[in-house]
Amino acid sequence: MPKTRKEKAEIVKEKAKKLGLDFCGISKAEFLSDEAKQLETWLSKGMHGKMQYMENHFDLRLDPTKLVPGAKSVISLMLNYFPQKKLEKKGNYKISKYAYGEDYHYVFKRKLKELITELREEFGEIGGRAFVDSAPVMERTWAQKSGLGWIGKNSLLINKKQGSFFFLGELITDLDLEPDGAIKDYCGTCTKCIDACPTDAIAQPYVIDSNKCISYLTIELKEEIPQEFNRKMENWIFGCDICQDVCPWNRFSKPHKNDEFHPSRELEEQIKQNWEEITEEIFKKVFKKSAVKRTKYKGFTRNIQFIKRKQ
């Protein structure tokens, strides 16, 4: 007897759970009409900074059937990266928690490929592609539509059970699955993320001005950091967790169970003086498999020197 859309959806979620993926939700693969207007406005105001790639493939970002012809479902998945202990110490330079261990693109993609393989063993030769920041996919929107959480005032997806320290990934597939409904926004009147941002990057609730975001300034920006951020970086040299650290929902965060995301001994032992004197050889050793390599040695040392000069 053929399985129903609901039964197939439950099988997908069970297989995702067994592979160590923390949450799984499903939405219908369709054009994102509301988000089209929001994205167009955000881009027209230049809030994407120097990230010109955000202007590319506008249609692909909004229509999953253009990425995967015949797509019927978007399977959204979440992978926890909240650490057992924070590395940031008073007075030391700081790196975003998501970059403590191995680059999540590779870890998460491996799990998604395993999931696709298992789904094909279960359902036959289905079409589908896995995405982890690897294509123009509006991952937070799809996660929200699939009921995994809501997009908070800091623009990040917040899960009611465990907060926001999660990587997001998707499988866009022609497998016809029963979708989950979206849940409501539970931010309420809280403005802690807005109030805590030292560079005022949250232009208005739910809207980020990338030009002012510490994560953008330390990772995406390839030019010199503007002087207006003098003494506002709060020692962040790769990424920033401020708006997540102050979010009340992150009191529910639980340590991840992925060995790949544990920091190396070399990273744990770095002190401020070591960061300021870091050589390219040490940089490559400490961040051998890390997302920090995105900045390259030149960008990383630029960040350190900018903060050091302004102290």
Final residue of a domain: which of 145, 173, 201? 173
The reply to whether 153 and 240 lie within a common domain is no
Query: What is the rounded distance in angstroms from the CA atom of residue 190 to the CA atom of residue 252?
Result: 17
Inform me whether the pLDDT recorded for 208 exceeds 60: yes
The reply to whether 122 and 200 lie within a common domain is no
Structure confidence at residue 37 (pLDDT):
63
Q: What 3-state class would DSSP assign to 129?
A: strand
Final residue of a domain: which of 173, 208, 235? 173
pLDDT in tens, 60-79: 667 888 888 999 999 999 99
Inform me whether the pLDDT recorded for 278 exceeds 70: yes
Residue 163 has which token pair?
A: 């907060």
The reply to whether 134 and 226 lie within a common domain is no
Query: What is the rounded distance in angstroms from the CA atom of residue 300 to the CA atom of residue 94?
Result: 12
Domain total of the chain: 2
Q: What is the mean pLDDT of residues 34-46?
A: 64
The reply to whether 161 and 277 lie within a common domain is no
Lowest mean pLDDT among 34-38, 81-85, 287-291: 34-38
The reply to whether 197 and 146 lie within a common domain is no
Structure confidence at residue 60 (pLDDT):
63
Q: Which strand (E) or helix (H) includes residue 5?
A: helix 5-18
Query: What is the rounded distance in angstroms from the CA atom of residue 245 to the CA atom of residue 144?
Result: 21
Tell me if 168 is assigned to some domain: yes
Q: What is the four-CA torsion angle of 241, 246, 250, 252, rounded to 10 degrees?
A: 140
Q: What is the mean pLDDT of the chain?
A: 90
What is the domain extent for residue 144? Answer: 5-84+97-173
In the Cβ-directed half-sphere of 159, how many Cα atoms lie within 13 Å?
A: 23
Query: What is the rounded distance in angstroms from the CA atom of residue 303 to the CA atom of residue 306?
Result: 5
Query: What is the rounded distance in angstroms from the CA atom of residue 37 to the CA atom of residue 34?
Result: 6
CB 201 within 8 A of CB 209: yes
Q: What is the mean pLDDT of residues 187-195?
A: 97
The reply to whether 29 and 163 lie within a common domain is yes
CB 239 within 8 A of CB 214: yes
The reply to whether 203 and 275 lie within a common domain is yes
Structure confidence at residue 271 (pLDDT):
86
Tell me if 91 is assigned to some domain: no
Inform me whether the pLDDT recorded for 49 exceeds 70: no
pLDDT in tens, 113-149: 999 999 999 999 898 889 898 666 789 999 999 999 9
> What's the DSSP call for residue 188?
T
Final residue of a domain: which of 107, 140, 173? 173
Tell me how far CA of residue 289 lies from CA of 20, 90, 101, 159, 177, in angstroms. Answer: 21, 26, 8, 28, 36
Structure confidence at residue 56 (pLDDT):
56
Tell me if 182 is assigned to some domain: no
Lowest mean pLDDT among 53-67, 138-152, 188-202: 53-67
Inform me whether the pLDDT recorded for 38 exceeds 60: yes
Structure confidence at residue 90 (pLDDT):
74
Q: What 3-state class would DSSP assign to 28?
A: strand
Tell me if 212 is assigned to some domain: yes
Active site residue 185: no
- Compare 224 and 59 and report the one with higher pLDDT: 224
User: What's the CATH number where 58 sits?
Assistant: 3.40.109
Tell me if 185 is assigned to some domain: no
**In the sheet where 128-131 sits, what is the strand order?**
23-28, 73-80, 166-173, 128-131
The reply to whether 127 and 240 lie within a common domain is no
DSSP per-residue letters across 45-72: TTTTTT-GGGGS-HHHHH-HHHHSTT--
Tell me if 259 is assigned to some domain: no
Structure confidence at residue 40 (pLDDT):
63
The reply to whether 41 and 144 lie within a common domain is yes
Query: What is the rounded distance in angstroms from the CA atom of residue 294 to the CA atom of residue 232?
Result: 22
The reply to whether 22 and 158 lie within a common domain is yes
CB 244 within 8 A of CB 208: no
Q: Which of 22, 103, 133, 180 is catalytic?
A: 133
The reply to whether 154 and 213 lie within a common domain is no
Tell me if 183 is assigned to some domain: no
The reply to whether 119 and 201 lie within a common domain is no
Tell me if 89 is assigned to some domain: no
